[in-house]
Amino acid sequence: MIYVENKDLVIPGQILADDEYYSGRGTFKENGKVCSSLMGLVSLRNKKLRVIPLKSKYVPKKGDVVIGKINDVRFSMWDVDINSPYSGILPAFEVFGREKKELNKVYDVGDVLFLRVVDVDEIKKAKLGLKGRGMGKFKGGIIVDIAPTKVPRLIGKKGSMINMIKDKTNCKIVVGQNGLVWVKGDEDMEQLTKNIIHLIEAEAHTSGLTNKIKNKLYLAIDGELPPEEVEEAEEEFVLEKPKLQNFKEELEQEEKEAEEKKKNEDKPDIAKVIEELKKKNKSKKDNSLSYDDNSNNSFILNNK
């Protein structure tokens, strides 16, 4: 027996279904009932119930890409605020190997970086690194802060939302999975983009959002509505997991490449390297956000 429908808004303690259903993220089982532990939207797939939270704090996960702020410079590492209950560290060797340099000459307190979570220890402390395209210190632009659970909505189906904003505003946009977004472009466009992002955050759980945002963008920039409507197929529900397999594949490929590169570091195979470079160029897109399909609505519950 199930008491809710897919996409229903539920609250903590609410009974969702009886024993024959499986308890996924955002739910728990007690006395033979599957219950919600969060305020969020029900996602039902193959008898597995999950609740996708409307709000939650970012908990670092290996492989995530995040935006962080240098909070302190220490002897051999930087302390990084990653908008989470858990701070990150960026060890010096992740940045310049064994070379000795003065850390604060490279990144100083207040600098904002695009980083990858290399590892997370048992107390959730995140070890950060800069391996990956586009990683490193941001120069200029602004930082926009949104709820991490709204990140998939900002990106949209196959990046539809974020690409639309980028195209229309001519801004560079980088989205961290920890809910921080970097925007750089024309001064006025930066502010417009910030407002648009906040609008998406506020209305993430409403339908018809892509069209609404498109209209807003065109009105603000061209002073008139867009010539044609976005196809309804683009319209996708709220916090539903966006299908971003291509990003995931890219990410995996990138990691594989990195690994292979590492393996072959001692005896580099020129042909292979060239081939890899070719491959890389082929898939050269804006890879500012490499999205792991499973991590979208990553609430911490199955994450022990």
Partner 1 sequence: MDIVPEITRQSITNLVKNDKREDGRELTEYRDISIETNVISKAEGSARVKLGGTQVIVGIKPQLGSPFPDTPDLGVLMTNCEMLPMADPNFEPGPPSDDSIELARVVDRGIRESELVELDKLCVEEGKHVWMLFIDLHIIDNCGNLFDACELAVMAALKSTKLPVATIVDEEVVLSEDETFDLPINNELALCTFVKIGDKMVIDPTLDEERVASARLNVGVTKDGHICSMQKGGKQPLEKEDILYCVHTAVEKVKELIEHL
Partner 2 sequence: MMSEFIRKDGRKFDELRPIKIEAGVLERADGSAYLEVGGNKILVAVYGPRESYIRRLLEPNTGVIRCRYNMAPFSVDDRKRPGPDRRSSEISKITADALRPALMLENYPRSMIDIYIEVIEAEGGTRCAGITAASVALVDAGVPMKDIVVGCAAGKVNDEIVLDLSEYEDKEGQADVPIAMMPRTGEITLLQSDGDLTEEEFEKAINLAMEGCLEVNKLQKEALMKKYSTE
State the residues that interact with partner 2 by CB under 8 A.
9, 11-13, 15, 26, 28, 30-31, 35, 37-39, 53-57, 59, 85-87, 122-124, 149, 205-207, 299-301, 303-304
CB of 37 to partner 1, least distance (A): 24
78 interacts with partner 1 by CB under 8 A: no
142 interacts with partner 1 by CB under 8 A: yes
Please write down the HEC assignment for all residues of 165-222.
HHHHHCCEEEECCCCEEEEECCHHHHHHHHHHHHHHHHCCCCCCHHHHHHHHHHHHHH
Q: Going by C-beta distance under 8 Å and a sequence separation of 6 or more, which residues neighbour residue 109?
A: 70, 71, 72, 73
Task: Tell me the C-alpha to C-alpha distance, in Å, between residue 10 and each of 45, 73, 206.
Answer: 17, 43, 15
Q: Which among partner 1, partner 2, none contacts residue 207 (Cβ within 5 to 8 A by kind)?
A: partner 2
Q: Which among partner 1, partner 2, none contacts residue 270 (Cβ within 5 to 8 A by kind)?
A: none
CB of 20 to partner 1, least distance (A): 44
Q: Going by C-beta distance under 8 Å and a sequence separation of 6 or more, which residues neighbour residue 101?
A: 92
105 interacts with partner 1 by CB under 8 A: no
**Identity at 107, one-letter amino acid code:** Y
140 interacts with partner 1 by CB under 8 A: yes
User: Closest CB to partner 2 among 39 and 199?
Assistant: 39
Residue from 139, 263, 278, 304 in contact with partner 1 (CB under 8 A): 139
> Kind of pairing, strands 112-120 and 136-137?
antiparallel
Q: Which among partner 1, partner 2, none contacts residue 111 (Cβ within 5 to 8 A by kind)?
A: partner 1
Residue from 3, 28, 29, 71 in contact with partner 1 (CB under 8 A): 71
Cβ(125)–Cβ(61) below 8 Å: no
Interacting stretch for partner 1, rule CB under 8 A, among 29-37, 162-170, 186-194, 244-252? 186-194
